[in-house]
Amino acid sequence: MTFRGTLVCLCLLFLTGWSFAQEIKSLQSGKNTSIRGLSVVDNSVAWASGSNGYVANTKNGGKTWIWKQLPGYEKFDFRDIEAFSAQEAIIMSAGSPAVILKTTDGGLSWEEVYRNESPDIFLDGMDFWDRRRGIVYGDPIKGQMQLLRTKDGGKSWEDISANLQESLADGEASFAASGTAIRTASKGQVWIATGGSKSRIFFSDDYAKSWNFFPIPILQGNNSSGPFSIAFLDTQTGIAAGGDYLKDTLRRNNLVLTRDGGFSWFEPDVHPFGYRSAVEYLNKNVVIATGTSGTDISYDGGKTWKNISKEGFNAVRKAKQGNWVLLAGSKGRISVFRINKE
């Protein structure tokens, strides 16, 4: 069922003398799927993926969406998606068996390009450096984080887990909450956040050949807490959001900032208003974060936060090329976020 034009939240902020109207409008709702995978190509094209084998895409800025429940994958949970155009996209499932599928015809057909039947496999997220080179990561097996890399646009995947020689601690893993606990930058950099019993940032600047790791001082210590999402404005300026999803209104230590590429972190002056599973830079000043208990905005690079809606989502992404911002969540909800200067 489509609810175009439904205003979820409209509020006014006064910042540097300007009045800003923020709105979140529902574009889609009512599908039996929880969307966690979201990829926005430009101001017209976007893709989403979720539980029960569902994938959706739009080519006209969200006016209409094409939904498909993939035959044979009705019980799969597609936690992440990477789209390159209206025709080409890659989806990744969490849980066992783990699969990666690719389409080159706008989602009409999908080719399975990777499968892992291990009962211990659990993929968490993926990102791409460019159209050909990408990386997928997953929870540890016998202490070793699982890493896959492609050099041919996702047609084939190589297991490079041995490149990361640091073992994860007992109870240390990651969260497949929005596909954004992994981020890449164009010159071979990649950051991966782990949580649970121990929270760290794993970093590589040579396309995942060699790795460093740093502690991240965010809420941690149990299997429901840690950093659930990271974002980087550039190779030095970044942000990590999370908390404890079982205590989703807890505001303590749920977001931290870095100015040195993840080596060190500091807390904001005003925290987000609860657990947040996704965070995204809209520009150098404006940052949005969302989670099950609501959606927040920062106009100073993440230093202070204001709640703009009690409606929560799983994921939020900005267009790779453009300014379109989408949010997605449970029951097939897809919404658009706008800021209008009045």
**Across 170-174, 209-213, 336-340, least confident range:** 336-340
**Tokens, residue 306:** 């204001």
**What pLDDT does 340 receive?**
78
CB 161 within 8 A of CB 145: yes
Q: What is the pLDDT of residues 158-167, one digit of tens each?
A: 999 999 999 9
| Phi, then psi, of 213 in degrees rounded to 5 | -150, 150
DSSP assignment of 108-121: S--EEEEEE--TT-
**Tokens, residue 20:** 């800003």
Mean pLDDT of the region 196-212 = 98
On the question of pLDDT at 17 being above 50, the answer is: no
Average pLDDT of every residue of the chain: 94
- Could you give the CA distance from residue 7 to residue 282 in angstroms, rounded to a whole number? 21
What pTM, to 2 d.p., does this model score?
0.94
**What pLDDT does 21 receive?**
77
Q: What is the pLDDT of residues 281-324, one digit of tens each?
A: 999 999 999 999 999 999 999 999 999 999 999 999 999 999 99
- Could you give the CA distance from residue 25 to residue 13 in angstroms, rounded to a whole number? 18
**Tokens, residue 186:** 């164009």
**What pLDDT does 2 receive?**
38
On the question of pLDDT at 30 being above 90, the answer is: yes
On the question of pLDDT at 88 being above 60, the answer is: yes
On the question of pLDDT at 248 being above 60, the answer is: yes
Element (H, E) at 315: strand 315-318
DSSP 197: T
Mean pLDDT of the region 52-70 = 98
On the question of pLDDT at 15 being above 60, the answer is: no
- Could you give the CA distance from residue 231 to residue 237 in angstroms, rounded to a whole number? 9
Q: What is the pLDDT of residues 90-145, one digit of tens each?
A: 999 999 999 999 999 999 999 999 999 999 999 999 999 999 999 999 999 999 99
CB 200 within 8 A of CB 171: no
- Could you give the CA distance from residue 167 to residue 318 in angstroms, rounded to a whole number? 33
Mean pLDDT of the region 178-201 = 98
- Could you give the CA distance from residue 153 to residue 126 in angstroms, rounded to a whole number? 13
**Across 11-25, 33-47, 115-129, 166-180, least confident range:** 11-25
220-256 burial: b if 16+ Cβ within 10 Å, else e: beeebbbbbbbbbeeeebbbbbbbbbebbebbebbbb
- Could you give the CA distance from residue 93 to residue 86 in angstroms, rounded to a whole number? 21
DSSP 170: T
**What pLDDT does 55 receive?**
98
**What pLDDT does 20 receive?**
63
Q: How far is CA 48 from CA 79, 168, 260, 326, in A?
A: 9, 31, 32, 10
* E runs forming strands in 1-88: 6-15, 18-28, 35-40, 46-50, 54-58, 66-69, 77-83
Residues sharing a CB contact under 8 Å with residue 255, sequence separation 6 or more, in sequence order: 218, 239, 240, 241, 242, 243, 267, 268, 271, 272, 276, 279, 289, 302, 305
**What pLDDT does 341 receive?**
66
